[in-house]
Amino acid sequence: MRAKLSSLFDGLLPVIATLAALAVGAVMLLFLRANPLEAYAALWDGAFGSTNAFAETLVKATPLLLVALGICISFRGDVINIGGEGQMIVGAILATWVGLTFTSLPGWLVIVLAMLAGFLGGGIWGGIPGFLKAYFNVNEILSTVMMNAIAVQLMNFMLRGPMIDPSQAELASKIPQTARLLENFRLPRWAPTRLHLGALIAVVLAILVYILLWRTVLGYRIRAVGQNPNASRYAGINVKRYVVLALLLSGAFAGLAGAVQVYGVNYRMITDGSASGFTGSAGFNGIVAALFGQLHPIWSIPASILFGALLVGANKMQRVVQVPSALVIALNGLVVVFVVSSEIWRRRRQRRRLAAAREDDTPPEPDSDTPVKTEVHV
């Protein structure tokens, strides 16, 4: 019973941390001379107030979930992937190229090929930092950040040059965008909303990633390397290979997120010169969602919906109480800080539980269900 209550408390920690962040947000709103209750009510209404609002929330949550799934894999393997933005972009470029090139193939086939291309593109962009970490000891935080910057320029170059919409190429304005995808290449929508098949794909993949991490040898080894690389090495696991694989898979899911954005929402790529112009910062916010979901693929689903709701609701909040939606980005940051800070209480309880178990002289409970390992060394 005590153990049950205790694990319930652990599960509630992120919720408590979020409420704390929202409370800080309320103080900020007061400083901005807005009524926090009114602001949060508008935010809720904008995210869940109607069928269409909820559909928009799910549309926003989809790339977050896909990125978060990749983050679950890499963080479990003790590799930090900050490169979601770049991986999304490269995945989207490859997927878009497929759709613009194979125009005579049947729609379903192109969609399948494009999703695979997105997976591949993101995988390459994540695999490079993985390779550099495993074999050249290059810190992956830094290399993934650099890869983000390189991907943005690659996108700008492709959309201004080789992949530019032929009709734009003739105009003086030369808006950097690709041509639109053919109508039968687009992911089916649940009309009249913009909710598309990508959301369902993401949920199915969340279940598959859960199976991958806890029911396959590959997943077991990624987690083993993440928890204790030395022990894994003695157990005969090729640690370097799994470091590369963890980042590669992580990038692949982000790349898929990019492909889904193109085939489900925008139907083309367009750039304003920045990464967030295409990704909407999903590459960063996906990290937030994954952490909030305690690096568990299934828990990442509600976490992604929560952050999707915050992002969508922020627009309504901006209209109603005239507080810029950028507030929500700041709040996301606070949520991250509060959630990682609250980990200390989980660790303390865990230690107390272990100490108690030692006194009872009974073996401690198996910890395999506790999803977050206590420390990530970067």
> What residues make contact with other proteins under the rule CB under 8 A?
32, 80, 82, 132, 136-139, 141-143, 145-150, 153-154, 156-157, 160-161, 274, 276, 284, 287-288, 291, 323-324, 326-337, 340-341, 343-344, 347, 375-378
d(CA 22, CA 30): 12
Tokens of 364: 């401690």
Residue 343 C-beta-side C-alpha neighbours within 13 Å:
18
Assess whether the previous peptide bond of 192 is cis (omega < 30° from 0).
yes
Q: How far is the CB of 105 from other proteins (least distance, A)?
A: 30
Q: How far is the CB of 75 from other proteins (least distance, A)?
A: 9
Rank residues 216 and 341 by Cβ distance to other proteins and give the closer one. Answer: 341
How far is residue 191 CA from its own chain's centroid?
26
Q: How far is the CB of 228 from other proteins (least distance, A)?
A: 15
d(CA 254, CA 234): 32
Nearby residues of 9 by Cβ (< 8 Å), 6 or more positions away: 349
Tokens of 165: 């919409």
Rank residues 263 and 325 by Cβ distance to other proteins and give the closer one. Answer: 325
Q: How far is the CB of 137 from other proteins (least distance, A)?
A: 5
Maximum pairwise Cα distance, the chain: 79
Q: How far is the CB of 44 from other proteins (least distance, A)?
A: 19
- Nearest C-alpha neighbor of 249 from the set 278, 219, 279: 219
List alpha helices for the chain, DSSP H: 2-31, 36-48, 51-76, 84-101, 107-136, 140-160, 166-170, 197-215, 217-227, 229-234, 239-261, 275-279, 282-292, 300-321, 326-360
Rank residues 21 and 205 by Cβ distance to other proteins and give the closer one. Answer: 21
Rank residues 154 and 200 by Cβ distance to other proteins and give the closer one. Answer: 154
Q: How far is the CB of 248 from other proteins (least distance, A)?
A: 17
Q: How far is the CB of 284 from other proteins (least distance, A)?
A: 7
Q: How far is the CB of 282 from other proteins (least distance, A)?
A: 13
Rank residues 4 and 377 by Cβ distance to other proteins and give the closer one. Answer: 377
Rank residues 124 and 145 by Cβ distance to other proteins and give the closer one. Answer: 145
Rank residues 103 and 153 by Cβ distance to other proteins and give the closer one. Answer: 153
Tokens of 206: 């969340």
Q: How far is the CB of 132 from other proteins (least distance, A)?
A: 6
Core vs surface per residue 104-138: b (16+ CB within 10 A) or e: eeeeeebbebbbbbbbbbbbbbbbbbbbbbbeeee
Rank residues 333 and 364 by Cβ distance to other proteins and give the closer one. Answer: 333
d(CA 85, CA 255): 9
Give yes or no for a contact between 70 and 250, defined as CB atoms under 8 angstroms apart: yes
**Residue 51 to residues 12, 99, 180, 366, Cα–Cα distance (Å):** 28, 31, 28, 43
Core vs surface per residue 270-295: b (16+ CB within 10 A) or e: bbeeebeebbbbbbbbbbbbbbbbbb
Rank residues 35 and 276 by Cβ distance to other proteins and give the closer one. Answer: 276
Rank residues 193 and 227 by Cβ distance to other proteins and give the closer one. Answer: 227
Q: How far is the CB of 56 from other proteins (least distance, A)?
A: 20
